[in-house]
Structure 1
Amino acid sequence: GPMPEYVINIGTRNDRGAARAHHSTSRGRPAMTTTVAHWPPPLVLHDDLDPADAPPHMRCALSGVIMTAPAIVASTGLTYQRDAVEKFVAERGCDPSDARCAVDALELAPNLAVRQLVEAHARARSKDGSLPPQNNDASTSRGGGGGGGGSRA
């Protein structure tokens, strides 16, 4: 017969909020698990795009920037700029909006819907509907999150 499929679920929380890892040999995954996410590269936006012109759901409540790498916190459903929320969670271990809600980095995932909204907003605000060159090279798509774009000439 076929080989069993081993699914490793990382960062499952128990009722006390402590992280624990467990293994599953079934194809189904237990409820409320978080696996390591695939992060798209941060969007590169034009320098003159003003965060004040962006709708509130596109701005990070922690850093105030337009979210080029939006990260959703699984337990609260709230979205922040990835590097800002990763730093906050690493230092404090909780959701920025609710200190009672324990969070670890494995509960962060890319918010692709917000990323698409930010991209559409940036294109609508640009003169020709385009964005600067993006960092879509596979070698740069993994990494510590987006603090804005790369170097610009």
Structure 2
Amino acid sequence: MAAVLLVCTANICRSPMAEAVFKARLGEVFQTIASAGIHADPRGGPVDARAAAALARRHYGLDRKWRSRRVDIDELGRFDLVLVMEAEHVDALRRKAAPEHHARILLLTDFVPELAGQDVPDPYFGPAAGFDAVIGMIERAAGSLQRAAREGRLKFS
């Protein structure tokens, strides 16, 4: 079974929401589902309360012990896919990662044809509705990945 790492900026909104959605919807595809942030506080912290509320409204949840964490470049080789929320994150990780890991670092939206190449907007500085919109984008990506796996189009080396 495969492993996926979901990455955003601080690992308190988008990537933990993606982690919760992926665990609920893609547990049969990915044995390991984790999240991290490019600039996460090294001490770790809880998920943003608005993100937690948006997850609860859609009946998703995170482990009570969940804490944010920073991406560990040395662990990228453990993941078959590293799905990030912004093109800037792709660039940042590829600059630091070993060349053999570059191909597995992709935008989350690249799995949704009509959203391919688009950033998942950061809802942190906006209204609560932004968190729901982000979960909608994540659900679309999860659905596309689920279909690709079911149809045998999702291959991991």
Q: TM-score, normalised by structure 1?
A: 0.23
Rg larger in 1 or in 2?
1
Q: TM-score, normalised by structure 2?
A: 0.23
Structure holding more strand per residue? 1
